[in-house]
Amino acid sequence: MDKHHERVLAGLAVLCGLTALINFGLAGRTHLFSLSALHAFELWTVIVALATALRLRLGRLEEEERRDAAAHAAQSGTALFEASAEVDPFTAARTRRLLEQRLIPFLTVLLAAIAVLLGRAILMRDAQGANPPPNPLLAVPFLAGQAFLLFLFSRYLLGLSRTPQGRLLRGPGVYAGLTCLFYLVAGVAAAATSVPHADRYIAKLMGGYLLLLAVEMVLNALADLYRPRRKTEPCTSYESRISRLLTDPASWARSVLMTLDYQFGFKVSDTWFFRFLARALIPLLLFQLVALYALTSLVFIREYEAGILERFGAPVEAPVLESGIHFKWPWPFETARRLPVKRILRVVVGYHDDTHNGPEAILWSVPHYPREDYFMLASRDSGGSDSGAVPVNLLVINVPVEYRITNAMQYGYAFADPSALLEQLAYRTVSLMTAGMDVPDLLGPRQAENAAELRARLQAEADRVGLGVEILFVGMQGIHPPVAVAESFQSVVGALESRESQILEARAYLNRKLPVASAEAVTEVARAKAYRVRKAQSADAEAYRFLRQVAAHRVSPSVYRARTYLGSLETALSGIRKYVVAADASHEIIQFNFEEKLRPDLFDFGSTLESGR
């Protein structure tokens, strides 16, 4: 062994360290999540490269010690130093055996732990609410250059690993190629600015692949622990077979050929058909590439489109390409820019998120869209002079604008973003028009006339700047006050409704109580009249009876007093049980049972019968 392999591995470790520093700085400037996730693969490659370089160095030192011992033994004619080298604890051979037996299996477990920690950290990191990267294209050339350098190292190491002396170089070569692959993927994600959250998805993919590598490392460690291995076979449990399939396609191609040879019982690669395919494969691929490149000379324009030829990025002074098939110089000499000239295009004013359908019930107290804009209107009510209120109103107006392209050259090349320009012109036109109108003018019966006037003004603005479009429709819909004043408005309306409700309740109470009170008044009057008549008649009867009693007393006073006394006694004793004792009972004890008997009992039958006789 020589020092060349060690230098290559050291160069790979230094390169990965430098790229890690560069990507760390780029991550701070571009805020790309995938650049932070790449540090895991860079760390992995550095660890494997340094461990492999240490193994190669110890192997080289062991071989040098063996050669020195053999030369000294040949000179002295004894094997004393060779024997002592086997037991000397400070020799490179013993150090190498300790490294192979103890540290290399532990390296596999260490790599698995690193993959689990970093992969979980990447997957658990919440970048959902993060702002979009401010300048993602800045990282693209750096990632491309780093990927190219790592690709060269990977292919060189994989080529050296096919020799018997370079077997250990396959692991660093595989991980260098894996890091190169993820550099390319991260660069594509950074360049794909039209795809939302592409960088975050790639970072999550890297985190998931790290967890897959961790599982593979654990399985490799268990398999290496229990499987029999030849004494001279090095331990390579930290190598990833899955990553090797991605970075070294020749390995699985050879595996497929060996499988075919085993299944058919002969070497398929020695047959004339396979040799023919092997010879014709490269020409066939070249023919396909040329054919694909030749297809760039064809331009297919759809029925609603018009095409403009561009030669080296500049439009060609030629007629606009209509729908159909057209020929041009291949890319990159000529390209075709397509514009939907026969489609009705649309911009909106006053609200955003046009894909939102809005609420089912259209109420002005509920926002129709997530974001709505306010427009200022004049107010005829100037307000009180002392209040300091500004005589203006704010309204939300939803204005969809539909248009079509009439001049493809002006629309496509006069402005960088003609759709955004038309939107800004529409905003300005609506603001100028509503500034001289009051709320009744917009909410009244002249909405159709207002929309027509707005369309004419917007068409004049578009023609003035040379936008090359025709305004087909302008709709003024969804006009309502700001949602923030809905609560105050509803409180006023609620107060008015509450007042009306209380008035109606008072009227109902009046209608309910007035007839009752009238009837009670009539009843009281009738009751008073009856009382008056009854009292008068009773007084007359009492007077008449008194006169008759006076006359009867004059005729016979004693008889009158006796009859009066007996009548009073009869009246007082009526309804009372009375016991009459005819004999003198001064010497007898008489017991009375005043208990009421509802019915006679058995002992009363005799007395009952006697009384019946």
Over the stretch 359-393, which tens digit does the pLDDT of each residue have? Answer: 565 666 666 666 777 777 776 665 544 555 566 67
Question: Is 35 a residue whose pLDDT tops 80?
Answer: yes
Over the stretch 387-424, which tens digit does the pLDDT of each residue have? Answer: 555 666 777 778 889 999 998 888 888 888 898 899 89
Q: Taking the CB of residue 245, how many other CB atoms lie within 10 A of it?
A: 13
- For residue 489, what pLDDT is reported? 65
Looking at per-residue pLDDT, the higher value among 17 and 267 belongs to 17
The H or E element containing residue 326 is: strand 324-327
pLDDT band, very low/low/confident/very high, at 20 (cuts 50, 70, 90): very high
Over the stretch 467-524, which tens digit does the pLDDT of each residue have? Answer: 889 999 988 777 777 666 666 767 777 888 888 999 999 999 999 889 999 999 999 9
Is the N-terminal amide bond of 332 cis, ω within 30° of 0? yes
Please tell me the distance from the alpha carbon of residue 570 to that of residue 572, in angstroms, as a whole number: 5
What number is the average pLDDT over the span 55-72?
Answer: 80
The size of the chain, in residues, is 613
Helix axes 33-76, 198-226, angle to 10 degrees: 30
Please tell me the distance from the alpha carbon of residue 103 to that of residue 510, in angstroms, as a whole number: 102
pLDDT band, very low/low/confident/very high, at 531 (cuts 50, 70, 90): very high
Question: Is 80 a residue whose pLDDT tops 50?
Answer: no
Considering the segment(s) 347-481 as one domain, its CATH architecture is 2-Layer Sandwich (3.30)
- For residue 253, what pLDDT is reported? 62
Mean model confidence pLDDT for the chain: 80
| Nearest residue to 197 (alpha-carbon basis) of 29, 435, 33, 58 | 33
What number is the average pLDDT over the span 548-552?
Answer: 86
Q: Helix or strand or coil: residue 498?
A: helix
- For residue 83, what pLDDT is reported? 47
Please tell me the distance from the alpha carbon of residue 63 to that of residue 250, in angstroms, as a whole number: 32
pLDDT band, very low/low/confident/very high, at 85 (cuts 50, 70, 90): very low
pLDDT band, very low/low/confident/very high, at 17 (cuts 50, 70, 90): very high
How much is the pTM? Answer: 0.51
Phi first, then psi, for residue 591 (nearest 5°) are -105, 130
- For residue 355, what pLDDT is reported? 56
Q: Domain coordinates of the chain in residue numbers?
A: 4-260, 298-339, 347-481, 503-571
CA distances from 499 to 326, 488, 493, 503 (A): 76, 17, 10, 6
Question: Is 613 a residue whose pLDDT tops 60?
Answer: no
- For residue 573, what pLDDT is reported? 80
Please tell me the distance from the alpha carbon of residue 299 to that of residue 293, in angstroms, as a whole number: 13
The H or E element containing residue 472 is: strand 469-474
Q: Helix or strand or coil: residue 319?
A: coil
Q: What angle do CA 111, 106, 119 make, to 5 degrees?
A: 15
Summary count for the chain: helices (H), strands (E):
18, 10
For the record, the structure tokens of 130 come out as 């993060």
- Min mean pLDDT across 215-229, 296-310, 535-549 is at 215-229
- Min mean pLDDT across 231-235, 246-250, 452-456 is at 231-235
Question: Is 23 a residue whose pLDDT tops 70?
Answer: yes
Region of residue 350 (phi > 0: left; psi between -120 and 50: alpha; otherwise: beta): left
Q: Quick check: 2 and 60 in contact, CB under 8 A?
A: yes
Please tell me the distance from the alpha carbon of residue 446 to that of residue 449, in angstroms, as a whole number: 5
